Structure 1
């Protein structure tokens, strides 16, 4: 495993959850060993983009992903619920 690969944290989001974006914030809070209330509100960063790829999913062949930076992590969320977090700062 390369050094870069060891810096990637992979998680599976629950696409059935009412607010999958909140799950992203929970994961980042856990990675940073912080309370979620100490983080910037995730909706200030991505609004409801993650929620939409789960609630109104495109065809699987579209292979949609949402990528953004949140609290020093480059976050990529795939339409199947897989997510990766890479520390960028």
Structure 2
């Protein structure tokens, strides 16, 4: 079961499940930031992004991470995932 740990804080919500944490924060333009920490069923943030895009029928943007070769870790290049496609985009 997923339950908020800090339900009084509307800016940053954390959920504990199994051996991991799911951290959610509202962002600009209708987006939200989502992070995972600890041991989870997802092998990477991109794997979580794929599940979110599929289950919530939404578009997800992830740090390209180690899954995308040739992209520096601190660049403005993100992996954009929808239900039907994945592509690299540059945010400025």
TM-score by length of 2: 0.30
Tell which has more relative contact order, 1 or 2 (C-alpha 8 A, sep 6+). Answer: 1
The structure with the largest helix share of the pair is 1
Higher strand share: 2
Rg bigger for which structure? 2
